[in-house]
Structure 1
Amino acid sequence: MVNELQNKLKDFSIQEFQQDLITWYLAEKRDLPWRKDQDPYKIWVSEIMLQQTRVDTVIPYFNAFIDKFPTIEALAAANEEEVLKAWEGLGYYSRVRNLHAAVKEVNESYSGIVPNTPEEISKLKGVGPYTKGAILSIAYNIPEPAVDGNVMRVFSRILSIWDDIAKPKTRKIFEEATYQIISKEDPSSFNQAVMELGALICTPTSPSCLLCPVREHCSAFKEGVQAELPIKSKKKKPKPLQMAAAVLYDQDRRLYIHKRPSTGLLANLWEYPNMEVQQEAGNTYRKQLQEFLLSTYGADVELLELSGTVEHVFSHLIWNISIFIGEVNNIPNDQLIAVTEKELEKYAFPVSHQKIYKIYLGSDKS
């Protein structure tokens, strides 16, 4: 593939491409909060937040997170509960747990300064090839490729690369292409410009080729195949899972919540007690859940009829959750803790369980 890439680049005007792209970016770039300066910490936080999450969604989270943890030292000193609460609703919580662990290491081992070499920054937890390239190029102006799906889409069209971008080995092709093309004078603007182009112009469907500042350099546009690129094989469909959850309250209107395990899906977040249920004749979801609450938590409770349902889609799973509400007649074991509605605000819940709480608030509990 190296020879093939060299052939593609042989007649490619790298300098003109850089100039057209960066000139457009400097004139048209969006006013985003992490672009106010080149603070490596803020760029790091933004890049972690932007993984698998839209810019519009990230902006308020980023602003609130930086207000709460304005420096490496502030985030390193925070406890995990605070950090998860600040991330609540963004999803993919392993991102923030890794960020928190890596920031502690930077604070302890690098005097609070984000490393500026590929070797050192790659050792930090959660910093993969893309994040490494983004921080080094944007914050430190080091010509490192930052290749994500957005960048692969742009360069698959620009250079007419027909390799499947869903395959991990394909990333190497695009990293090599970026190494060859990146501006050595202004890698910060170059990498951000490619990302911006993918977000605003060279979109997954219906790219705005007539508005594109580099269409003169684009092989796919010349060949009329921009709609066919990139090649991307489809993922498996997520597996549906039928769940039932209980919002339990006592005579003082305290609610009972449970902390998820420290590893695995949604690790260390809080939730209402729940279980996977089966469709069985004569054994309703409510009955299965009631028996589960008694055997697992020692909770003696009479659940009301179904109060609502919540669907939550993960990349590999779809939770279909039936919601039941009931008053606890005894004190459950210590796997459940009782909190007031005011105290709930301190605990980080996944989005699905935030929706469950809203159903509880809107229900008739009598």
Structure 2
Amino acid sequence: MTRNFFDISFRGRHRWRAAILLLWAAFYLLFACARPAFAEVRIKDITDIQGIRNNQLVGYGLVVGLKGTGDSLNNSVFTRQSLIGMLERLGVNTQSQAANLQTKDIAAVMVTANLPAFVHSGETIDVTVSAMGDATDLTGGTLLVTPLLGADGRVYAVAQGSLVTGAIQAAGANASFTQGVPTVGRITNGAIVERSVNFKLAAQKQPKLELRNPDFTTATRIAQVINARLGPGIATVDDPRTITLDLEGRNVVQNLADIEDLRVQPSTPAVVVVDEATGTIVMGANVRISTVAIDEGNITVTVKNTPVVSQPNALAGGNTVSTAQTSISVKKGKGKRMDIVQGNISLQQLVSSLNALGVAPHDMISILQAIKAAGALQARLVVQ
């Protein structure tokens, strides 16, 4: 009996300890889930590699095949000259009949495109076509061969093809309707790349990362994460925007692929951006407000003009005079009071406090400007 009792007691204590461990594990998991998660992002989402960029291309061309919606040759001299020059290059002599050209089925246009990084000869890119003269609609037109030049004056692509505007235009005797912009069109894969930009990423021994939003703290965190992954001294912070990577003797492409998937928590500044035209307010999470008293004025001024006509009797003579009688009324809202907004409040508390006061977005902009002038807004205020 004693042995059996001991076995039962030992097994009970063992199960009790296991239950305590399971309970502590449950509390730990609950605490870990309850902690706020940090907004970590990939390095590739907040940085760019220096030297990898788009290049802008531009060209001048002609769009033909328009149904009477092109340029007026009498008003657009450059269109007339371009048409004559194009026909002469094709072997058509128009010198004797140049003054009689009256077609409105052609339009002079500017062609723009972006040449992506690492694009090679023979690949295609999209182009945008915009009217230059008095053309009213480019829908259904065809862009003729147009060389696209870079900033160095060299031809990097050649565009041609049928363009699409996506616009709807209708007109009647007394009304018209237009949706979209019929004088701007787009040609998908409308340009063939003739020359690529000479940039060898694999040959870069010290590539640089550039932050899209410069910040000392974020740059330092990125360098720490990279050094923890690839080794100390690999990443060095040059300034709030630039981080230099020492990849001498390493596979540059493979190491950049490993770096761009690393995650870091960016540091955001305390900024309040307001747009008075639309009443839009955007606040950062680090915005803080010191203790301040707010009294929202609610005064309505009404000005009313009532016309009064003074007409003399038929035998009295004189003229009929029309005057205006003006009345002004001022109403002040009731129940308004000065409220105290406690100091060091967060963004959520600030919005809740202003909403509790019944403040409209446009009034909130004025309040934020006043709080900034009083020195209580611990953030940078940007008014657009």
Structure showing greater Rg: 2
Shorter chain as denominator, the TM-score bin is under 0.3
Which of the two has greater helix per residue? 1
Choose between structure 1 and 2: higher strand proportion: 2
TM-score normalised by length of structure 1? 0.18
* TM-score, length-scaled by structure 2: 0.17
- Name which structure has the greater RCO, CA cutoff 8 Å, separation 6+: 1
